[in-house]
Amino acid sequence: MKYPKRIKTLQKTLHRKKLDAILISQPENRRYLCGYRGGDHGIGETSGVLLVPVEGSIHLLTDFRFELQAKKEAPTAKVHLYPKGLLNLLKKILPQLGIEKLGFESHYTLHSFAHLLTTQLKKKGIRCIPSENLVERMRLIKDEEEIAVIRESVLLNEQVFGDIYKDINSFSTEIDVALAIEMAMRRAGAEDKSFDSIVASGGNGALPHAVPTQTKIKKDKPLTIDMGLVLNGYCSDMTRNFVPRKPSKKYIKLHRLVRKAQLAGIAAIKAGARCCDVDRAARSIIADGGYGPQFGHSLGHGVGLAVHEGPRLSSANKLKLKAGMIVTVEPGIYLPGWGGIRLENMVVVRDNGCEVLNQDKTWLDI
């Protein structure tokens, strides 16, 4: 079973770092380690934390509202409730477990809570040690089982996109399209969207993170659709850009430039390539085309249990890619007033190149 294996890997790291245990507060990390799917209502309202000791079995600490769910989804964990709050429960069970040095996820713990945790546990003789990305590092490389689920997630997302695209002229506003997408995802069996869908017509497409509005879809203007879903916990993320009626010459020129940059990025991806070099391979195409300043974000990001995770394909990231990493490749050009073009596919890094997970070819090679 995968969870005990992952716990064992983490326990080896704890051993190396001389930690007696670690508190896992990050929701995707919790799910990765024990299967518990409880979602936080923002970081301030946790649905539980996982306590992983350096050896022995794991403990899922949660509250009354999530008791049944926790027991059902995380059979490998012992479930404890904290009717008087997490801190009080920790003060009770940490000494029982002989834990004197406790790691916590510094990158997913509020400063105010870390302060309370550290000062309160100190009184019990327990030291709190900020740790960063121990589980995220494990999640960077996907095994073949995870890759298979992500492939399914990508293909289901494409299927939903295809159905919407076919009917695109039947929709009136951006919000109509976004709602239809999200409804279709859930009907198709997705457990959720992986992020709020972007549907941006004309000038709205100049905002890379546009929020769908009541704007009518302009049939002769560029339309950006950026959408993703969650299937069995794993995310997909895809952007397509097209013109519902006839594209202008300018659109075609820019679209081809973005696609050329995307293909250059994809061609640069293989185990051993540095993220910054992949970013540059795509970025230089757009810069040579005269639109460097109009491509203001990085080329891509990892995707897995979270829709945005490592590694980041950015000009600053010197990390070398490894086989089994999954990243998006999504160059774009944004022109205020006119609109934007972004094309995004997902790929798996392989030893000698990469495998594009997307099958959909809509408006890629025009």
Q: Which residues bind a second copy (CB under 8 A)?
A: 39, 41-45, 47, 64-66, 68-69, 83, 104, 106-115, 130, 132, 175, 179, 182-183, 186-187, 195-196, 206-209, 211, 296-297, 308, 336
Whichever of 167 and 351 has its CB closer to a second copy, that residue is 167
Query: Could you tell me the two tokens for 360?
Result: 């959909």
The verdict on whether omega for the bond into residue 311 sits within 30 degrees of 0, i.e. cis, is yes
Query: Could you tell me the two tokens for 123?
Result: 């009184």
Whichever of 175 and 356 has its CB closer to a second copy, that residue is 175
Q: In angstroms, what CA-CA distances link 329 with 200, 253, 300, 343?
A: 20, 20, 5, 8
Whichever of 4 and 39 has its CB closer to a second copy, that residue is 39
Residue bearing tokens 């109009």: 294
Instruction: Work out the number of other CB atoms within 10 angstroms of the CB of residue 37.
Output: 17
Using CA atoms, how far apart are residues 361 and 366, in angstroms rounded to an integer? 10
If we measure between CA atoms, which residue out of 23, 7, 11, 6 comes closest to residue 131?
Answer: 23
Give me the least distance between CB of 36 and a second copy, in Å please: 13
Give me the least distance between CB of 205 and a second copy, in Å please: 11
Whichever of 70 and 269 has its CB closer to a second copy, that residue is 70
Whichever of 138 and 179 has its CB closer to a second copy, that residue is 179
Whichever of 40 and 277 has its CB closer to a second copy, that residue is 40
Give me the least distance between CB of 235 and a second copy, in Å please: 12
Give me the least distance between CB of 296 and a second copy, in Å please: 4
Phi, psi of 70, rounded to the nearest 5 degrees: -60, -45
Using CA atoms, how far apart are residues 345 and 312, in angstroms rounded to an integer? 15
Residue bearing tokens 């094309």: 343
Amino acid at 223: L
Using CA atoms, how far apart are residues 298 and 364, in angstroms rounded to an integer? 20
Query: Could you tell me the two tokens for 10?
Result: 């983490």
Give me the least distance between CB of 28 and a second copy, in Å please: 10
Q: Is the dihedral of CA 226, 147, 131, 7 positive or negative?
A: positive
Give me the least distance between CB of 185 and a second copy, in Å please: 10
Query: Could you tell me the two tokens for 255?
Result: 């679209």
Whichever of 11 and 47 has its CB closer to a second copy, that residue is 47
The CA-to-CA distance between both ends of the chain, in Å, stands at: 46
Whichever of 234 and 247 has its CB closer to a second copy, that residue is 234
Using CA atoms, how far apart are residues 357 and 237, in angstroms rounded to an integer? 11
